[in-house]
Amino acid sequence: MGVATATAIVCAAIGLYIGLYLANVPGSAAAVTSSQGTSLYLATVPAAALSDPHNTWVSYYAVNSSGGDWRHDTTYVLPAHTLVHVTIFQYDSPSGIRNQFLSQAQGTTGGTFQVNGAAPEQAIASANTSHIFAVPQLGLSVPLQGVSGTAKNACANAPCSPTANAVEKVTFTFRTPGKGLYRWQCFVPCAAGYIDGFGGPMQTVGYMDGFLKVV
């Protein structure tokens, strides 16, 4: 009987763990709607918060309009058929693009994006690219400029601050499609330490991958 009890306890523990693993779905963040329209504020960091189970992994976060209130969410809820203004606070340094044609922005309004509010650009040099925010199902892909690798006050782990840390602010707009769940990903081989830079965070929803939930 002791054997049976021990077996049952072990099985229950394993079952519980598997259940928790299966139910592990990252949280979602909604876009902000104001008089200026609908806006989505995101940030990328070279490494997730120290309390994170993978605190060395590069990751996206959802933030507020002033770059505060960090939430580790990668499902972004957007209204359908709406022009969305996206702002991405870039705290990560460049890793370079694998497929160069992605150095050109596609699918944004005018096919352009702005860095730190400067004149709209169509493309950037591979060497300056830190990430690419891409939604292949929508034909959207925007190269994100990284902070200089030699910046003194570079941010190490989330949360970072736009005032205290080196940051590049990339903005662009795009029109959401009809209702549905669309996946987004990064195309830059930025998962350092993994072969092809595409392991770990690049293949885990909640870090460099997630969903756009258009409602």
Partner 1 sequence: MAQTRHFRNVVMLWLIVTVPFEALMIFVLAPGMPPGNGSVQAAGQVTDNTVLFGLATPVTTAVLVFLGYCLYAFRERDHSSALEGPAIRGDAGVQFWWLLTTTTLVLFLAAYGSIRLLQDGSGGGQGPNPIAVPAMAKGDAPLQVQVVAQQWQFDYRYPKYGFETPDLMLPANTMVEFHVTSLDVIHSFWAYQLGVKADANPGVDNIAYVHTLGPLTINVRCAELCGLWHGYMFDTGHVVPQAEFATWAQQQQTLLAPGSKRLPKYSRTYFPSPVRRSG
Partner 2 sequence: MSAIAISASRPTKSFWQRLGGFNMFTGIALGIAGWFIGYYAIGENITGHTLTYYKAQAGENDIAVCLGYVLGVVGFLVGMGFANYPVRRMLGHPPSLTEHESEGEGAARYFRLCTDHKVVAVQYLIGIGTFFFVGGLNAMFIRTELLSPNTHVFGPNQYLTLVGMHGSMMMGMMTSGILGPFANWVVPLMIGSRRMAFPRIEALTFWLLMAAGVILVTTIFWGGFQTGWTGYQPLGDEGTAGYDAYIGFFGLVGLSMTLLGLNLMATIITMRAPGMTWSRLPIFCWGVVATAILMVLAAPMLIATLLMAGMDRTVQTGFYIAAIGGSAYLFQNLFWVFGHPEVYILALPGFAIVMELLPVFTRKPLWGYRLAVAGLLGVAFLSFFVWQHHLFVSGIDADLRPFYMLSTEMISLPTGFTFLVVMGTLWRGRIRLTVPMLFCVGWIFNFLFGGISGVFLSDVPSDVTTHGSFFSMAHFHYTIMGGLVFTFFAAVYYWGPKMLNVKFDERLGKIHFWTLFVAFNSTFGPLFALGFLGMPRRVVTYPLGLQGLNDWVSISAYCIGLSMLVFLYNVVKSTVFTREPAEDNPWQAKSIEFSLPTPVPVHDFERLPTFDPDPYPYGVEPAPIGAPVPAGGVA
Binding site for partner 1 (CB under 8 A): 96, 98-104, 106, 111, 122-123, 125-126, 134, 136-137, 139, 183, 185, 187, 189, 192-198, 202-205, 209
**Which of 136, 139, 149, 180 is in the footprint of partner 2 by CB under 8 A?**
180
Quick one: which segment of 87-95, 111-119, 158-166, 198-206 binds partner 2 (CB under 8 A)? 198-206
Quick one: 117 or 196, whose CB is closer to partner 2? 196
Quick one: which segment of 36-44, 115-123, 167-175, 203-211 binds partner 2 (CB under 8 A)? 203-211
Q: Which among 78, 45, 50 has a CA at the least distance from the CA of 60?
A: 45
Q: List beta partners, residue 180.
A: 214
In angstroms, the CA 207 to CA 201 distance is 5
Q: Which does 18 bind (CB under 5 to 8 A by kind): partner 2, partner 1, none?
A: partner 2
Q: What phi, psi does 133 have (nearest 5°)?
A: -90, 115
CA atoms within 13 A on the CB side of 205: 16
Q: Is 179 helix (H, G, I), strand (E, B) or coil?
A: coil
Q: What character string, x for contact with partner 2 (CB under 8 A) and - otherwise, covers 101-140? A: ----------------------------------------
CA 121 remoteness from chain centre: 21
Q: Which does 180 bind (CB under 5 to 8 A by kind): partner 2, partner 1, none?
A: partner 2
Q: Which does 76 bind (CB under 5 to 8 A by kind): partner 2, partner 1, none?
A: none
Quick one: which segment of 20-28, 87-95, 147-155, 161-169 binds partner 2 (CB under 8 A)? 20-28
Q: Nearest approach, Cβ of 27 to partner 2 (angstroms)?
A: 12
Rg of the chain (C-alpha set): 19
Quick one: 30 or 123, whose CB is closer to partner 1? 123
Quick one: 111 or 200, whose CB is closer to partner 2? 200
Q: Is 136 helix (H, G, I), strand (E, B) or coil?
A: helix
Per CB under 8 A, does 99 bind partner 2? no
Token pair 């606070």: residue? 89
Q: Which residues contact 132 (CB under 8 A, 6 or more apart)?
A: 97, 102, 141, 142, 143, 144, 186, 187, 188
Question: In angstroms, what CA-CA distances link 54 with 46, 114, 157?
Answer: 12, 31, 11
Q: Nearest approach, Cβ of 194 to partner 2 (angstroms)?
A: 6
